[in-house]
Amino acid sequence: MKSDVYFVEVAANDAKERRSGLLKLLGTMDPFSAYKKDEFVPVKLTIGDSQCAYHTSPELVKSVVSEIKKKKARPFLFDTNVIYKGERLNAVDHLTLAQNKGFGHPRTGAPFIIADGVFGQDGKEYEIDSEYIKKVKVPSFVGMVDSLVVLSHVTCHILAGYAGALKNVAMGMCSRPTKQVQHSSLKPHVIKETCTGCGLCIDICPVGAISLARDKACIDQTKCIGCGECICACKFDSIFINWGEDTGIFAKRMADVAGFIISRFKNRFFINFAFDITKECDCISTKKEKRVCSDIGILASKDIVALDKATLDLINKDEDVILREKPQASYKGMLEYAHKKGLGNLDYNLKTL
């Protein structure tokens, strides 16, 4: 059976048009009709790193929050801490960044929390039935509330090729230990012939796994957590990952983690914002970041797999944009595996509004 995916085309870089399109979509779908008075509703989003300018805007977030409040429910915004260096490594800096970027209560209409605690270690741990990952640790509210809203700004991604709703849930809704486990098969290696010993990878490594040996970078595989930040930092293409094998496992782990998380909610609603689509994800992109295609619009569905598949089909309508920008294509295997595991459908009805 096909799943419904709703789509509003927004081709202009205009805040009013984007908000109008979002409100049209929400008005047509009425996705929050099942919400009960005073129930807590978590709204997942990412604010991007400090230099990122292309994340989901506070104004669009406020539109979603306002619609939820019309049902007398109590929405709150949340994210979790990351595993690499930066202003989202702990809750104190993360919250400060959120305020500075306009995600405070005055502009969004809802409080913003860091759901895995000060250092990203808080949460509940569960055993799951997966060949690729045995335990997951998630924020404590997962399984305690009925509803979940996920807002995702679509981008390319250094490891998955594509980042949308599935990646937002899998990586963004777990505590740091589970983030590290999902990355654990991705062990980068240094190409000694082209390494200049500049030290950029050393500076960015969050666990001190890289050092210089005879003026060349050297990665301690026992310390490496596979976050991939060294690949982004290297300006000489001197660090590589076995894309053909390693990222396939990474993608399946993400699908299994996402599957467990969304299974804990009765009412699930996902929105993909497919504009300002950059070559790198919101964690590392800047104002100068290359945008890989024209703005497409806003898509929404209760089916996370169908939503990401429809988004990808629109991005790649004229050519395979993702493959052009990122040589790895593990997102395809992730969607197929997610469908096989029952997370959603690959077939969909695209309802254009």
- Asked whether this chain's domains 3-182+245-352 and 187-240 adopt the same fold, the reply is no
- Alpha-carbon dihedral angle through residues 154, 156, 160, 164, given to the nearest 10 degrees: 0
Reply yes or no on whether the pLDDT at 236 is more than 80. yes
| pLDDT, mean of residues 190-218 | 92
The pLDDT of 262-272, averaged and rounded, is 98
Question: Residue 55: what pLDDT?
Answer: 86
Over residues 234-262, the mean pLDDT reads: 83
Fold of 3-182+245-352: Rossmann fold (3.40.50)
Query: Could you tell me the fold of the domain covering 187-240?
Result: Alpha-Beta Plaits (3.30.70)
Determine the pLDDT at residue 169: 97
Torsional sign, CA 185, 193, 281, 102: positive
Look at the alpha carbons of 219, 251, 160, 151 in this order and tell me if their dihedral is positive or negative: negative
- How confident is the model at residue 242, as a pLDDT? 65
Q: Model-level pTM?
A: 0.87
| pLDDT tens digits, one per residue of 19-48 | 999 999 999 999 999 999 999 999 999 998
Measured between alpha carbons, how far is residue 235 from residues 200, 247, 291 in Å? 8, 22, 19
Looking at residue 243, its pLDDT comes to 55
Q: Rounded CA gap, 78 and 46, in Å?
A: 8
Identify whether the C-beta of residue 42 lies closer than 8 Å to the C-beta of residue 149: yes
pLDDT at 152: 97
pLDDT at 54: 84
Cα separation, 114 vs 120, in Å, equals 8
- How many angstroms separate the CA atoms of 213 and 210, rounded? 10
pLDDT at site 330:
72
Read off the pLDDT of each residue in 122-130 and give the average, rounded to a whole number: 93
At 89-114, the pLDDT tens digits run 899 999 999 999 999 999 999 999 99
Domain residue spans of the chain: 3-182+245-352, 187-240
pLDDT in tens, 292-344: 778 999 999 999 999 999 999 999 898 888 777 666 667 788 899 999 999 99
| pLDDT recorded at residue 50 | 79
Query: What is the residue-averaged pLDDT of the chain?
Result: 90
Q: Which of 20-24, 64-68, 225-229, 283-287 has the lowest mean pLDDT?
A: 283-287
For the segment 121-135, the average pLDDT, to the nearest whole number, is: 91
Mean pLDDT on 225-233: 76
